[in-house]
Every structure is written in C-alpha cells, then in structure tokens.
Amino acid sequence: MEPTEIIQKLPFSYPFLFVDDLEEIHENGIKGHYTFSESSFYYQGHFKDNPVTPGVILTECMAQIGVVSLGIYLLKEQDLGKFQIAMSNVDIDFFLPVFPGEKVTVTSEKEYFRFDKLKCKVQMRNEEGKLVCKGEISGMIKANE
C-alpha cells in the first residue's frame, strides 16, 4: 500500500488533517511529516500575541500519523471501506513548543496490534531534530463488517 493511499483513507479532512506525507512505513512502524500552517484557527487565541501549537493538536498529529496511518497499513489485506477508530489511551510528555509554520516529523514504533488494538511508542521532532514530545498512544481500529 502506497503512502498516498493511506492518507486518502484517513477519516480526516481540512482543517483537522495533520498528515502531509508518509516517508517510511513497514509492519513495525511509520514515519511522517506535517507543517503547522500559520493560518490555523487554533493560533488565534493560543496564546495571545505569542501563538503556540496546543498540546492536544500535537497529540492528534502523532495519533494520525503514528497510530491511524499505521493501523490502515496493518489492515491492508482487509477491505476497510469505512472503518471505526477510537483513541483508548494517551501518555505524552512535552519538551519544546511548536510554533506556526514549523514542520515536524513523527515516528512511531508498534508495541503490539491484537484484538483490534494498536499500541505505539511515538515521538515528534522539529526541523532541527530536537525532541518536541514523546510517549505512548493506543487506539482501536476496526473494519466495518
């Protein structure tokens, strides 16, 4: 399955799609990128005169690349059609801010995928390669029957 096919299958669209491209994907992990647009709605009030990307948006970016995109790849043998997803657990530590216009790289390593639950170790780095945040995200992904 090609990276563009995975991105097309994502159940998100603008302004809530946080995946620009997928650079690397295999059975045990994924690597992708996203650039936070300076015109994104959440910068208008977070924070006044000093916009910073909210942690929940950084977490969502990591989940979309590191769990949902990887889950779609892992289920490539199934006819997904429409599928259901749900985040079941998140444990993220934040180290650096991400400002408007910054490009980030998300890498994810599969810990396990069983009984429709995917658990991954994820990390986000900025363009300088500095660690922005890292942790674990797990979620459920299931093809509709």
Token digits of residue 43:
């910068």
Nearest to residue 85, comparing CAs of 2, 11, 3, 137? 11
The residue from 31, 33, 46, 117 that is catalytic is: 46
Place of tokens 């709605």: 41
33 among known catalytic residues: no
Q: Is 101 helix (H, G, I), strand (E, B) or coil?
A: coil
Strand partners, 29: 26, 109
Active-site positions read 46
